[in-house]
Amino acid sequence: MTFLYIHGFNSDGEGWKAEALRRQFPAATVLAPDFPADPTEVQALLAEYIAAYRAPNFVLIGTSLGGFYAYCGSARYQLPALLFNPSLTPHQTLAGRGIGHFKTWTGQRDYHFQAAYLPVLAAQRAAADETVNPRLLRFYLATDDEVLDHTALPDLFPTSSISWLAGAGHRFSKFEKVLKTEKKAGWL
């Protein structure tokens, strides 16, 4: 099994979620690169990783903004994706607070998120909506997400698997618990 973990905004590939994947699936290949701020570069990097590592058991996993990119990757390459508190409208949610210079939570890198990226994100979402297979998507949503409102997702994706978890917050503190559950259920 191969996992491509796509981190969220202000995060990087060295975060605790990538480590949780490695702990829960020691025999799997866990790819967790640092993704750039530029959404065009993110899509290019996704394409490179998918071309190089795609196998029958290849799964995209994304959190928040990474969930958006996993959604786009699932649509483009028809791959299964686990989406944790995905930001499916980043062109809206990042419009105010997401523009500027930032340092990742781990402090590993500085980056600049530009307003010019917002229409690119909107176009990427529109393109993904055209080809997405909702049955390939598994949503994990925190009832107490303090950043994003997910209440419309069940209506938008009625044929997708959607699980609501209390007490996970936006950073989805129950990430490893979900991995254990899915592993036992045989989905992963």
Which of 161, 138, 135, 162 minimizes the C-alpha distance to 151?
A: 162
Rounded to two decimals, the pTM is 0.94
Instruction: Please give the CATH topology (third level) of the domain spanning 2-185.
Output: Rossmann fold (3.40.50)
pLDDT tens-digit profile of 26-82? 999 999 999 999 999 999 999 999 999 998 999 999 999 999 999 999 999 999 999
